[in-house]
Structure 1
Amino acid sequence: MPSSRTRRPPVQRAPRRPPGPRLPRDNPVGRLYTRARRAWDRPLTAYYLILGGSLLITALGLVMVYSASQITALQLSLPGSYFFRKQFLAAVLGSLLMLAASRMPSKLHRALAYPILLGSVFLMILVQVPGIGVAVNGNQNWISVGGPFQLQPSEFGKLALVLWGADLLARKQDKRLLGQWKHMLVPLVPVAFMLLGLIMIGGDMGTAIILTAILFGLLWLAGAPTRLFGGVLAIAVTLGVILIKTSPNRMARLACLGATEPGPDDSCWQAVHGIYALASGGLFGSGLGASMEKWGQLPEAHTDFIFAITGEELGLAGTLSVLALFAALGYAGIRVAGRTEDPFVRYAAGGVTTWITAQAVINIGAVLGLLPIAGVPLPLFSYGGSALLPTMFAIGLLIAFAREDPAARTALAMRQPRFGRKRAAVRGSAVRGPRKWNTMRRRASARSSGER
């Protein structure tokens, strides 16, 4: 007899979206590209690039400072690890500042803008007071803080301009005032020129160039029109040309571009020996600590020209690694500035990225003989506590901004165990069974983005 059960009609499912083009499975390059692209698009990519890149640059910088400064310390009748110990102490203090800045909310960052600006201006004025300011290599931009420690207030002026300028532009954007050129320029440009004037009184044109780059970066992010941007740029270039023309020292540095010989009066000694150090490094270098140029041939081997010693001891592989770390740090900063909806975060992240990137380009360009020697250190890498402390605080700002991204905040919360639930699981383990950790791995199946 035929069965009384009737077959159910097949379920009509919605047609699936046709899959996108897939790379063939037998193409290893295609698979590697796909995986790299997925990893690059994850919410925590910028966070890890900033944190990991900055720590790696700082750690490698400590190693190179120790290697490059030993001979200089011995020539000054100091212990071979003298400069390394000072740099290590500054790195520890800078790490604490970076940690503090990374945990601060944006409101507290904005609240610190005016105190840091006023403090920087006050210290830069003190530099010019006789008996307080200290001249180093012809530039009076230092203050003695006791013993062997000195402070360069102009380094903190960079951080002050970033925070104060970002807060100013953010408040004006909230009030929709940036469409008027006078609100775009005033008081941002006058305050920036005041800082530049205080720095140039001491003769430090390298730091003034970095401050000018930060100003242009803020104006660019604020959407300054081309005519307005070009006008400020023309004024800055004109002032720069005048300052260079009126200084024989700066003209001599400009004349050393592309030099291959020290010259009859050794005016290009530093620039040429920097090229010698890079050229003798080869592919993998002569070995850590085996540099010949640091034996009195290359001035400022552990400060402005530490990149040349890196090329001599670690070779092309070492210098490319440093460049890759700075490129990753710059990309991460641009990504943080481009993905946020908070105007203060956008301006501050863009200002910090401009600061670090411009300073790295100027330093490395001078070592390579492509730019005049400006006397600026390589960020996070060269010797100098006054430069390291504000830079690491600025890195902490970028880390805080990267953490504040909604997708990154969610991913971080899912990765971290919640200790309150952990205790509850321990108390109720006899009833509820084995305790469960509220981690990203545990909840991986509940997410659709694939972020880990």
Structure 2
Amino acid sequence: MIYQFGAERTGLKKSADHVLIASIILLTGLGLVTLYSASFGFAERFFGDGFYFIFRQVVFAGIGMVLFFAASFIRLETLRKWIKPLVIGTVILCILTFIPGIGVTKNGASRWIRLGSSTYQPSELVKLVLPLYLAHIFDKKRERLDEVSSGIMPPALITLLFFFLIYRQNNFSTAIFIAVNALILFFLAGVKMRYFAAALGILIPLSSLFILTKEHRLRRLISFIFPEWEPLGAGYQVRSSIVTIASGGLWGKGIGQGTRKIASVPEIHSDFIFSAYAEEAGLIGVLLFFLLLTFFAVRGYRTALRTGDVFRRLLACGLVTIIVSQALLNTGVVVGALPATGIPLPFFSAGGSSLATTLLTAGLIVNVSRMPRNEELHDVQ
């Protein structure tokens, strides 16, 4: 008896979740407006063109919307047939970051590959491909999750491979981020808790070692624990961000009216763009952002829980968690609640790799929302 994909095979489709789509479009539009305002002065001062960042972001937003539309309609069963090539291709892209002439190194980090006049960050693709692979493999092996060699080891090794490649790019925060999100999928798939104890027994001391053996990571951690330790060094960006957010007050200074976005917060158009948004939109704008994020999260998880198919449920949960946890992690750093990382704010931060991949990810979540509800599924001989 085959029931998981019965509805799709018989042609049953319900319309996509319009609230989910609306939240994605609004977050994208709000992000573009914020980036334009946050980056104009900086781009004009250092590049001689105030539209330097927003022009590139709009181009990638257009590409991302095409990918969003395609991903929301593609047959997921067809996509599953390409998972192995997708994983292999993503591994190759991650390796290319280390190849001279192809990889691009900035500030000691080899995270990008050159694509003509632009660059692409393969670790952003890992945030999509790894949950896709894990959802596929856990669905395929759901009867063998108690077997270490055939059930647990294959997904664990692929996760470790991506962790190692991203760590070697000097991108420790993203490596930890994808590992933790992978563990969430392991848990949702029903992997026994004893395996998590073993994984954490390895991950925690290993992460501590990685932090203690790199000066910039150690300085960030010390600055987080003791904010007054280095106020003009490692802690300067976060302290400036907090002051910028507080200056927005209740209503904000108005879009384009922020005064601290040029020199007060370094790289404010990138990982700290939320502080520029909070200064100009105020507390009301911050609440609006979290309201939109909540709508996205609730509708996304609702989509996952209402499908009776293991693959689709795990895929939607994994992809929603990737976007939401990334947003919460970024805003937590910006307000000083978490140690500084290099995690961008989805839909907002400058970076075409992040925006295009986020929209592609969102498209797959919308795709799952088109699946009929549990009660609409039925057996097909």
Q: What per-residue deviation string (whole Å, max 9, x for no partner) do you get for residues 118-139 of structure 1?
A: 1111111111112221112331
Kept in 2, the 8 Å contact 1:67–1:288? The answer is: yes
Structure 2: distance between partners of 1:259 and 1:277: 20
Matched, 1:267 2:237: no
Q: What per-residue deviation string (whole Å, max 9, x for no partner) do you get for residues 203-252 of structure 1?
A: 10121122112211210111122221222123222221111111110111
Q: Per the alignment, do residues 181 and 333 of structure 1 end up closer, same or farther by CA in structure 2, a change over 3 Å counting?
A: farther
Residue 116 of structure 1 is matched in structure 2 by 86
One-letter amino acid of the structure 2 residue matched with residue 230 of structure 1: A
Structure 2: distance between partners of 1:101 and 1:378: 22
Residue 241 of structure 1 is matched in structure 2 by 208
Deviation >6 Å, runs of 4+: 43-46, 407-410
Matched, 1:152 2:121: yes
Q: Per the alignment, do residues 87 and 264 of structure 1 end up closer, same or farther by CA in structure 2, a change over 3 Å counting?
A: closer
Shift of 1:266: 2.5
One-letter amino acid of the structure 1 residue matched with residue 245 of structure 2: L
Residue 139 of structure 1 is matched in structure 2 by 109
One-letter amino acid of the structure 2 residue matched with residue 160 of structure 1: V
Residue 347 of structure 1 is matched in structure 2 by 314
Kept in 2, the 8 Å contact 1:181–1:228? The answer is: no
Residue 50 of structure 1 is matched in structure 2 by 20
Residue 441 of structure 1 is matched in structure 2 by none
Kept in 1, the 8 Å contact 2:222–2:229? The answer is: no
Structure 1: distance between partners of 2:214 and 2:26: 38
2:217 to 250, 260, 264: 250
Structure 1: distance between partners of 2:253 and 2:296: 28
Structure 1: distance between partners of 2:294 and 2:149: 35
Bigger relative contact order, structure 1 or 2 (CA pairs below 8 A, ≥6 apart): 2
Structure 2: distance between partners of 1:389 and 1:366: 23
One-letter amino acid of the structure 2 residue matched with residue 66 of structure 1: Y
| Secondary structure at the counterpart of residue 50 of structure 2 | coil
2:372 to 401, 405, 417: 405
Matched, 1:72 2:72: no
Unpaired segments ≥5 residues, structure 1: 1-42, 411-452
Residue 359 of structure 1 is matched in structure 2 by 326
Structure 1: distance between partners of 2:157 and 2:225: 36
Residue 106 of structure 1 is matched in structure 2 by 76
Structure 2: distance between partners of 1:138 and 1:46: 44
Structure 2: distance between partners of 1:163 and 1:130: 30
Structure 1: distance between partners of 2:357 and 2:376: 25
Shift of 1:302: 1.0
Shift of 1:264: 5.6
Structure 2: distance between partners of 1:57 and 1:72: 23
Structure 2: distance between partners of 1:248 and 1:333: 39
Residue 153 of structure 2 is matched in structure 1 by 186
Structure 2: distance between partners of 1:288 and 1:261: 32
Q: Per the alignment, do residues 64 and 44 of structure 1 end up closer, same or farther by CA in structure 2, a change over 3 Å counting?
A: farther
Q: Kindly report which structure 2 residues correspond to 1:32-431, keeping only aligned pairs within 5 A, or say none.
A: 47-147=17-117, 149-173=118-142, 176-257=143-224, 263=230, 265-406=232-373
One-letter amino acid of the structure 1 residue matched with residue 24 of structure 2: S
Kept in 1, the 8 Å contact 2:15–2:370? The answer is: no
Q: Per the alignment, do residues 186 and 66 of structure 1 end up closer, same or farther by CA in structure 2, a change over 3 Å counting?
A: same
Structure 1: distance between partners of 2:227 and 2:175: 28
Q: Per the alignment, do residues 271 and 264 of structure 1 end up closer, same or farther by CA in structure 2, a change over 3 Å counting?
A: closer
Structure 2: distance between partners of 1:309 and 1:143: 29
| Secondary structure at the counterpart of residue 186 of structure 1 | helix
Kept in 1, the 8 Å contact 2:97–2:104? The answer is: yes
Kept in 2, the 8 Å contact 1:258–1:370? The answer is: no
User: Between the two proteins, what is the percent identity of the paired residues?
Assistant: 36
Structure 2: distance between partners of 1:281 and 1:57: 20
Indicate the larger mover: 176-185 or 277-286. Answer: 176-185
Residue 31 of structure 1 is matched in structure 2 by none
Shift of 1:141: 0.5
Kept in 2, the 8 Å contact 1:46–1:332? The answer is: no
| Structure with max Cα Rg | 1
Indicate the larger mover: 330-339 or 340-349. Answer: 330-339
One-letter amino acid of the structure 1 residue matched with residue 297 of structure 2: G
Indicate the larger mover: 150-159 or 334-343. Answer: 334-343
Shift of 1:115: 2.2
RMSD of the alignment, in Å?
2.1
Shift of 1:44: 8.2
One-letter amino acid of the structure 1 residue matched with residue 50 of structure 2: G
